[in-house]
Amino acid sequence: MDRLLRLLLKTFIRRGNFRVTTSRGTTFTFGDGTGRPVSVRFASRAAEWGILLDPELKFGEAYMDGSFVVEQGTIADVLAIALGQKTEVPHWARLQGLLRFLYRRFEQFNPRTRSRRNVAHHYDLDGRLYSLFLDADRQYSCAYFERPDQSLDDAQLAKKRHLAAKLRLSRGNAKGAPRLLDIGCGWGGLGLYLADFGGADVTGVTLSQEQHGIANARAAERGLSTRARFNLQDYRDIEDRFDRIVSVGMFEHVGVNHYDTFFKKSAKLLADDGVMVLHSIGRSEGPSRTNPWISKYIFPGGYIPSLSEVLPKIEKAGLLVTDIEILRLHYAETLKAWRERFLAHREEVERIYDQRFVRMWEFYLASSEMAFREQNLMVFQIQLTKRQDVVPMTRDYIMREERSLREAENSRHAPLRLAGE
């Protein structure tokens, strides 16, 4: 077994400084010796066989169960080496990848009942969990880092400001408060921002019981209940018209089978002079399939699309693409901040759940970060309209809108002053 493990890992790990101790106590070193040294140990032969036979699934499970132990470095360091190799998966596991690709349409079949169940699996966890590692506004999607040293809270505020600018809410104010639909509203942070600073009349929808309750409570607390309402509703059941539509971090849960439905429904809901902005994780390469560990433990029914899968569905729905922006390392930095905050509160998370849950979420956050940092994942923001003349011909307006929103934010919060000033 040790010889087989050494042979296969040697063919896969060509970069880095990676030392492995087998369950029998034999030690091997792999890589070219560059980078931070990492040392791991297998605590059982079952873990060794699992990772050899199905690395994409069993690697995470072994770490969760404690049968794959990181003795030097962190699991993030291990994943940086693993995902930083030339191939996404070891060559001996490529057949499994092909079979999973062929199976993906069944896995992503998300009718209403299954969608609700999938959302509950991840978003209806104990509310204390998310408060431990997200920013104060509970933004559970990619932040927008305007500068490298920006704090997570400021970067998440910048994300909301950036999206609001692309929605051109100030133009809608001339004819009254623009009616805005937030598909997948989360805990309400973006919708409340768009109502408060953008002057929009917001309707948000979510399938999460937990998010629904918190979002409406936050609206009431801030005196925005008449301008921001959050419903426990599937977007497919909405029958109305909106001047603006925004969807952030929800499209990843739609499933490749349902892209036609999503964009046709969006086109039906959007006013003729309306603007829609879609913010989603994407792939810089072609179509693929969801990692089996992520699908089983974190986001059942989820899928990260490539633009080549999305754009034809937009065209088919009769919508026009007026702007596409690619955010590359922004999510890597967001996930790093989340991971560091999560680990700083690992004892509290363990009290809420258990040690296995802590390792599961550490693996999830670390593997997601390294997928953005080392591989082909990114975030795209697509602006959509029904007419060519709805948005300006150049992108200068985005900076102007952001400047106006920043001034509005600053006017609400007087700068701190020292005593005597």
Instruction: List the chain pLDDT tens, one digit each, 421 residues.
Output: 788 889 888 888 999 999 999 999 999 999 999 999 999 999 999 999 999 888 889 999 999 999 999 999 999 999 999 999 876 566 656 666 666 666 666 666 667 777 778 777 777 788 899 999 999 999 999 999 999 999 999 999 999 999 999 999 976 545 679 999 999 999 999 999 999 999 999 999 999 999 999 999 999 999 999 999 999 999 999 999 999 999 999 999 998 889 999 999 999 999 999 999 999 999 998 888 888 999 999 998 889 999 999 999 999 999 999 999 999 999 999 999 999 999 999 999 999 999 999 999 999 999 999 999 999 899 999 999 999 999 999 999 999 999 999 999 998 764 444 444 3
Under 8 Å CB-to-CB from 392, ≥6 apart: which residues?
none
The reported pLDDT for the residue numbered 420 is 41
Angle, vertex CA 54, rays to CA 52 and CA 57, nearest 5: 125
pTM for the structure as a whole:
0.91
Q: Which two tokens stand for residue 289?
A: 């399939």
> Nearest-CA neighbor of 140 among 294, 231, 250?
250
Domains and CATH numbers, the chain: 2-102 (3.30.1050), 112-412 (3.40.50.150)
Helix H or strand E encompassing 327: strand 320-327
- Residue 225, pLDDT score: 96
25: left (phi over 0), alpha (psi -120 to 50) or beta: left
Query: CB–CB of 206/232 below 8 Å?
Result: yes
Contacts of 101 (CB under 8 A, 6+ apart): 287, 288, 289
pLDDT at res. 421: 38
Give CA 296 to chain center in angstroms: 17
3-state SS, residue 197: coil
Tokens 């030097």 appear where? Answer: 72
Residues β-bridged to residue 381: 279, 325
Task: State the amino acid at position 19 in one-letter form.
Answer: R
Question: What pLDDT sits at residue 117?
Answer: 80
Residue 29, classed as helix, strand or coil, is strand
Q: Determine the Cα–Cα distance for residues 192 and 412; give it in Å rounded to an integer.
A: 15
* Gap between the Cα atoms of 208 and 40, Å rounded: 38
- From the number of C-beta atoms within 10 Å of its C-beta (0-12, 13-18, 19+), residue 354 rates as exposed
Q: With contact defined as beta carbons under 8 Å apart, do 224 and 195 qualify?
A: yes
Residue 142 near residue 327, CB atoms below 8 Å: yes
